[in-house]
Amino acid sequence: MTGMGKGMIWVNGRSIGRHWVSFLSPLGLPTQAEYHIPRAYLNPKDNLLVILEEDQGTPEKIEIMNVNRDTVCSIIEESDPPNVNSWVSSHGQFRPRVSNVATQASLSCGSGKKIVAVEFASFGNPSGSCGKLVLGDCNAAATQQIVEQQCLGKGSCNVDLNRATFIKNGKDACPGLVKKLAIQVKCSY
């Protein structure tokens, strides 16, 4: 919706809300440029999208994309903090909620599905985004096998971002590099 200004959106007569792409955040970016259309709003075919534009917009810039919910990814860096849900506040003090507070890649299929394939796994300097991940010039060879052992056949899994887990024989090919752990899995019944 980045080409639009302000208005309303309906799918098959059901509102998915207002769009106001011209309302910018303090960073100068649209506060809401992406909209989720619930699958329950869609017909098998002949769907109708109605967009009421109150300002001048450029409808040619609207993009409609299908999202594959069976592909799940996690991309984290060694410099990332642990998940905020690892902590609990009690009497003004923060304390760990779990025994092992660590930065983790968290992957979850949902809807009774299980992880059936690890499509990509790299600990090093991978790049790209979900569905378009590529290996960098630094990669721990054991990553794929480690992720498969921890995740295959499960509905969800957590993979600790621990350098010692991925670097075998104590030989780090890129010791000065802050590493990323990028994982892409396929979920199915």
Q: Give the CA distances from residue 70 to residues 50, 59, 148, 187, in Å, rounded to whole numbers and listed in that order.
A: 28, 30, 17, 5
Closest CA to 123 of 69, 85, 160: 160
pLDDT of residue 132: 92
- What average pLDDT values come out for the chain (189 residues) when binned by 10 residues? 83 89 72 78 93 85 80 93 81 83 90 95 95 94 96 96 86 90 97
Alpha carbon of residue 2 to chain centroid: 21
Residues 95-124: tens digit of each pLDDT: 888 777 788 999 999 889 999 999 999 999
In whole angstroms, give the CA distance from residue 53 to residue 57: 7
pLDDT of residue 155: 97
Which CATH superfamily is 71-188 part of? Rhamnose-binding lectin domain (RBL) (2.60.120.740)
pLDDT of residue 31: 66
Q: Domain extents for the chain?
A: 6-61, 71-188
Calculate the CA dihedral of residues 32, 36, 42, 47 and round it to 10 degrees.
30
pLDDT of residue 50: 94
In whole angstroms, give the CA distance from residue 7 to residue 16: 11
